[in-house]
Amino acid sequence: MKPFAERVVLITGASRGLGAGLALAFARAGADVYVGYRQRQREAADVARSVEEAGGRATLLGFDVTDAQAVRAAVDRLLEAEQRVDVLVNCAGVVRDGWAALQSAEDFREPIDVSLLGTFHCCRAVLASMLGRRRGAIVNVGSIAALRASPGQAGYSAAKAGLVALTRSLAAEVAASGVRVNAVLPGLLSVGMATRLDRRVLDARQRQIPLGRLGTAEEVAELVLFLASERASYIVGQAIAIDGGLSA
């Protein structure tokens, strides 16, 4: 029996990178996966195809996490079809690199709007259903930028630090009602944002990692699936770094 058989999982930011890897991992574990995306419908459709090839069921769900009404409407469509959300994984995020002294307010704010406010919108949209069933798990995907200085990423770091605080506070509010909320804090990975770094910059950062290599989407997925499962039934409000020792 697959651990997530007959479970409904919504993953935001699932059209590429780590989100796509998480969608595939949940599918292999038997889940019915809703592939959340904003603009990249073609890439999301490719992910959905991979999910189905892995033996899972995939449904595309397009919406903008920064728009509270759009989030509510999308989750309502999901609930109308499934009657529940068992797991929410908030993986949507953007980065706008630039020195803070030279950065526009809009570039600083966008990562906060997507990673922090967007996560809040998604959590709020699914919680009524989860609390009504007294069951559910939420895993928020943060970053080790929440724990250590990340020059040139002030807005992104602030968003991810806020995500840790949101995770802990929300977890304390809903744990007694059967809903667990936790976060994972990946370091540099071989997918996603790190792949867009200049090779020399990436090599320099990789040398700082005690393990001496980048992490993989599969490694992060193992932790996310664990936190979303009943095996983690006594883990609440935690933000767990998975970074090869970089934040040690």
What's the CA gap between 9 and 89, in Å, rounded? 8
Question: Would you say 195 and 21 are in contact if contact means Cβ atoms under 8 Å apart?
Answer: no
Q: Does 156 participate in catalysis according to the annotation?
A: yes
CA angle 31, 80, 65 (to 5 degrees): 75
Q: What is the DSSP string of 170-220?
A: HHHHHGGGTEEEEEEEE-SBSSGGGGGS-HHHHHHHHTTSTT-S-B-HHHH
Token output for 16: 């590429």
Alpha helices (runs of H) in the chain, residue ranges in sequence order: 17-28, 41-53, 68-82, 105-111, 118-133, 154-174, 199-206, 217-228
Given the residues 34, 37, 156, 234, select the one marked as catalytic: 156
Q: Known catalytic residues?
A: 156
